[in-house]
Amino acid sequence: MNIQRAFICFLLVMVSATLRPAEAIAQGYPAKPVRVIVPFPPGGAADIVARAITQEMGRAWGTQVVVDNRAGAGGLIGAELGARAAPDGYTLLFTSSSPMSVNPHLTAKPPYHPLRDFTPIVLIGFSPNVLVVHPSLPVRTMKALIATAKARPGQINYASPGAGTLSHLAAELIKLQAGIDMVHVPYKGGPPALIDTVAGHCSVFIAAYPTLSGQMRAGKLRAIAVTSAKRLSLAPELPTVAEAALPGFEAMQWWGAYGPVGLSAGLVARLNADIGKALGSAEVKKRLAADAAEVAGGGPQDLAAYLKADYERWGKVVKAAGIRAQ
């Protein structure tokens, strides 16, 4: 019995010794400035959201949280840097959905695998898009748009900010689910796509609510539906695409915080809690609301599950539509 007890005590000591470093790291974190990689240029939605959150984190921690913009290749360059960073919690990745769910499908040899090369921390928030039509197209509902497109195959065109963008993929997902044929007209960015849709050169456009709201209020574009799973708080009268015509449809921009593979459970829990507190601040909520976005939150497992579903969804769309990066 004495030998058994001694062995059990030895095991407990070993387990305790194994756990203490991780606990100590989490408790003493951060002991120096933290770098947050944003894989897009300054001034974009992902950058603005990241800066609002990191300001709150810096105040809470009493240390610098530095946003490092690493743009290029549709976010692949910055995301790869985040994946290859040391798993010590001092380099994090705040990214939108495109580098995680979409862009890896558009590249023959992506530099990372979204489901294997990152440690999920927290789902930051969602930003739904709105589907609008030019008033010259005589439709006011999703069912009417689908019926018109079926009656006029290949005669209705839709604008996008470019091939592989969420706007493009959302329209392609509608085409696949509805069994319709609309012609894609890609532009070099959102502004020219919007200008040509307002001018009537394109009939359909999907973009963020803040981008379209002014033209909608002026009557130059007609809103048909939102692409999120639930209605938009700023425009509750607009139905979702799913409830209006295509059950299960969802196409949203989202943001998430990640660390590299190997980030300890203690640090993940600490970061999830601290970023969660920042998301609950009035300033962050105000910043997200300005873009018609909503705070998400939840545990690391929620981000992991959402990424997996989104990654698989867009992989199927990219393959079925034969989309390639430009």
Out of 244, 266, 285, pick the residue that ends a domain.
244
Q: Going by C-beta distance under 8 Å and a sequence separation of 6 or more, which residues neighbour residue 120?
A: 256, 258, 300, 301, 303, 304, 307
Are 87 and 261 contacting, i.e. CB atoms less than 8 angstroms apart? yes
Residue 158 covered by a domain: yes
- For 134, list phi and psi in degrees, rounded to 5: -75, 140
Residue 240 covered by a domain: yes
Residue 91 covered by a domain: yes
Q: Which domain holds residue 37?
A: 33-126+252-321
Whole-model pTM: value is 0.84
Q: Do residues 170 and 121 both lie within one domain?
A: no
Residue 157 covered by a domain: yes
Question: Which CATH number is 194's domain given?
Answer: 3.40.190.10
Q: Can you name the residues that pair with 257 across neighbouring β-strands?
A: 94, 122
* Number of neighbours of residue 87 by Cβ within 10 angstroms: 14
- Residue-by-residue pLDDT tens, the chain, 326 positions: 455 554 444 444 444 444 444 454 567 899 999 999 999 999 888 888 899 999 999 999 999 999 999 999 889 999 999 999 999 999 999 999 999 999 999 988 999 999 999 999 999 999 889 999 999 999 999 999 999 999 999 999 999 998 888 999 999 999 999 999 999 999 988 899 999 999 999 999 999 888 899 999 999 999 999 999 999 888 899 999 999 999 999 999 999 999 999 999 999 999 999 999 999 999 898 888 877 788 999 999 999 999 999 999 999 999 998 887 65
Tokens representing residue 68 in the block = 């490092």
pLDDT of residue 324: 75
Q: Are strands 34-38 and 65-69 parallel, antiparallel or unpaired?
A: parallel
pLDDT of residue 13: 43
Residue 13 covered by a domain: no
Q: Do residues 117 and 260 both lie within one domain?
A: yes
Are 170 and 315 contacting, i.e. CB atoms less than 8 angstroms apart? no
For 273, what's the count of Cα atoms within 13 Å in the CB-facing half-sphere?
11
pLDDT of residue 18: 46
pLDDT of residue 5: 56
DSSP for 8-75, written as a single string: HHHHHHHHHHHHHHHHHHHHH--SS-EEEEESS-TTSHHHHHHHHHHHHHHHHHTS-EEEEE---GGG
Q: Do residues 132 and 226 both lie within one domain?
A: yes
How far, in Å, are 2, 23, 120 from residue 10 at the CA level? Answer: 12, 20, 34
Total domain count, the chain:
2
Q: Do residues 210 and 136 both lie within one domain?
A: yes
